[in-house]
Amino acid sequence: MTLPFGVGVGVPGPLFQQGTWSLFFAFALMNLLVLLEVADRLSLKNDLEIARDIQQAMLPSGLYTAAGLETVGISRPANTVGGDFYDILPLPDGRVVVAVGDVAGKGSPAALLMALLLAMLRTLVDEGLEPADLVTRLNVQVSRHAPGTRFITLLYAIFDPKTGVLTYVNAGHMPPLLLRNDGTCTRLTEGGIALGMFDHSTYTTGQVTIECDELVAIYSDGITEAENPSGRPFDEAGLESALVAHRHDGLSSIGAAVVRAVEQYTADTRLADDLTILLLRRCTTPTPVGV
């Protein structure tokens, strides 16, 4: 979405783009969450539920489909609000940005930083930066403006459905799994350290070609580190098993199956961390654009 924004009488200003809208929205959410930090401590559930609804509204909802691809994200906070996020951003040239991030910590403090980071990411996407350059810029901003005890892991990628090439940067995040047609999984690790640790960090780009019907799962550590009553983690093996078992299902059904598998593994106890997973599959036939 692009609208003209005037900065002076008779003087046309810069384009008021999606990232700018996101920035204003993030500031509004941040102000609300500051007030709700008190509500969190006083257990004012109604106010916290409002914050949850606003936070969820910042994330894409439903299945996004376009020619040659489909992608969907699911996020379940451990508390009413959380620090995990995901994003799906179509680019003008037909490529699609997908990202999953995890802010250290839980609750309102993590949600504050999540809102700001999501807004900064969308603003930088509008600038047309390549993945490594975008993540490097993002790291500088997080290092300068986030509290020293807060860092953020991020998987940022651009998928080209015409070629099947996924170009990605992994900034300290859990390695995504690429489920191949033969049932094997490839881990995507190329990148660097988490955002906010050092402002001079540099990042490298990885590339992988996804064949038709192959699936990429980008997820937060809340999934693999979820523990059963005996203290054993769900682990990457549990995620891989769930993906393989449901690989031929619809994408939304696969995401729901993964979350359900984690919940069953933990015996439906209270989550210790946010659960987030984004799935992307290359399709053999064009599908209508939509979210």
Residue 142 CA to residue 195 CA, distance in Å, equals 7
pLDDT tier at 137 (50, 70, 90 boundaries)?
A: very high
- With bands split at pLDDT 50, 70 and 90, how would you rate the model's confidence at 15? very low
Q: What is the pLDDT of residue 43?
A: 54
Report the pLDDT value the prediction gives residue 47, as an integer from 0 to 100. 58
**Model pLDDT for residues 229-287, shown as the tens digit of each residue:** 999 999 999 999 999 999 999 999 999 999 999 999 999 778 888 899 999 999 986 44
Mean pLDDT to the nearest integer, 75-95: 89
pLDDT at 163 over 90: yes
Question: What pLDDT is attached to residue 232?
Answer: 95
Q: Is the pLDDT of residue 59 over 60?
A: yes
CB-based contacts of 74: which residues, under 8 Å, 6+ apart?
A: 255, 256, 258, 259, 275, 276, 277, 278
Q: Is the pLDDT of residue 38 over 80?
A: no
Cα distance between residue 158 and residue 167, in whole Å: 5
Q: What is the percent of the chain where pLDDT is above 70?
A: 79
Residue 181 has what pLDDT? Answer: 95
Residue 28 has pLDDT above 90, yes or no: no
pLDDT at 263: 93
Q: Does domain 15-282 have CATH number 3.60.40.10?
A: yes
- Own/partner contacts of 38-47, CB < 8 Å, gap of 24 or more, are 40/79, 40/80, 40/107, 40/108, 45/80
Mean pLDDT of 150-156: 94
**Strand pairing partners for 180?**
none
Q: Which two tokens stand for residue 115?
A: 């809102």
- Measure the CA angle with vertex 29, ends 26 and 32; round to 5°: 155
DSSP string covering 241-261? HHHHHTTTS-HHHHHHHHHHH
Give me the helix-helix angle, 45-57 and 18-42, nearest 10°. 160
Q: Where are the domains of the chain?
A: 15-282
pLDDT of 207 reads 97
Per-residue pLDDT tens digits for 194-206: 999 999 999 999 9
- Banded model confidence at residue 214, pLDDT cuts 50, 70, 90: very high
What value does the mean pLDDT of the chain take?
A: 84
Binning pLDDT at 50, 70 and 90, where does residue 104 land? confident
* Mean per-residue pLDDT, 109-126: 87
Q: How much is the pLDDT for 238?
A: 97
